[in-house]
Amino acid sequence: MSVEGSIALKRYSPESTGKRPGVVVLHGARGIELKPRAYERYANALTAAGIDAYLIRYYSYADEQVLDKLSTQEEREAYRTDRFDIWADRVSSALTGILERPDSSGRVGLLGFSLGGYVAAAAAARDDRVSALAVLYGGMPNKMVSRVKRLPPLLELHGDADHNVPLAQGEALVKLAKSVGAQAEQVVYPGKDHGFDFSDNDPATTDAIDRVVRFFRSDLQTG
């Protein structure tokens, strides 16, 4: 159980035994169902590298009911802004369950896409159990920037033709991370729009997945 009820979670696990790190995957604004294959590609790549992957639905039932009724982008943005703290708490609750598993190595990362990237950044800033943070075309919620005192190592991937979340949002997140002493890297994909890595046949998809897996393998399987 968590804030506002239980959290739906799907676990992907390697065939290997023993203690392993985990990565929690946070969906974009339209949920996992929009592009399930895209999220599963990341989950499968992580498990192939010996890392458990957890796809979680941080929206509560109440969130889904409200968001379905909001008709404008402005209304949706206002609602999301008010929910970041709750969503970050729900992610932390999921982390508690994951870290209590007997096969957990005690190290866990967050991987967030778009809105999920904002939620991941907010959760990582609030919860020092997060050992690594990867954000794709996201940023830090504006309401949280002044409260950020720490962040784990960060990888941010962004297309420079993103019309949904401007590249400047990712740049600001990386700058913020460095300002609080975190190692942070941004990789910019020229000409790529929002969600570029959800394509089934774009080489940038493979590149993004490979970078994310290498990042987590380096920061979660060592130290």
Digit-coded pLDDT (tens) for 106-149: 999 999 999 999 999 999 999 999 999 999 999 999 999 999 99
Q: How confident is the model at residue 33 (pLDDT cuts 50, 70, 90)?
A: confident
What average pLDDT does range 153-175 have in this prediction? 98
Q: How confident is the model at residue 8 (pLDDT cuts 50, 70, 90)?
A: confident
pLDDT of residue 13: 94
| CA 185 to chain CA mean position, Å | 15
pLDDT of residue 1: 47
* pTM of the complete model: 0.95
Q: How far apart are CA 124 and CA 24, in angstroms?
A: 11
Residues paired with 188 in a beta bridge: 158
Instruction: Inform me whether the pLDDT recorded for 71 exceeds 90.
Output: no
Could you tell me what percent of the chain has a pLDDT over 70? 97
Could you tell me what percent of the chain has a pLDDT over 90? 84
pLDDT of residue 17: 82
Tell me whether residue 23 is exposed, middle or buried, using C-beta atoms within 10 angstroms of its C-beta: 0 to 12, 13 to 18, 19 or more: buried
Q: How confident is the model at residue 3 (pLDDT cuts 50, 70, 90)?
A: low
Q: How confident is the model at residue 99 (pLDDT cuts 50, 70, 90)?
A: very high
Residues 140/118, Cβ–Cβ less than 8 Å: yes
pLDDT of residue 16: 80
Q: Which of 167, 152, 172 lies closest to 107, judged by CA?
A: 152
What average pLDDT does range 94-98 have in this prediction? 96
Instruction: Inform me whether the pLDDT recorded for 20 exceeds 90.
Output: yes
Average pLDDT, the chain: 94
Q: How far apart are CA 186 and CA 100, in angstroms?
A: 32
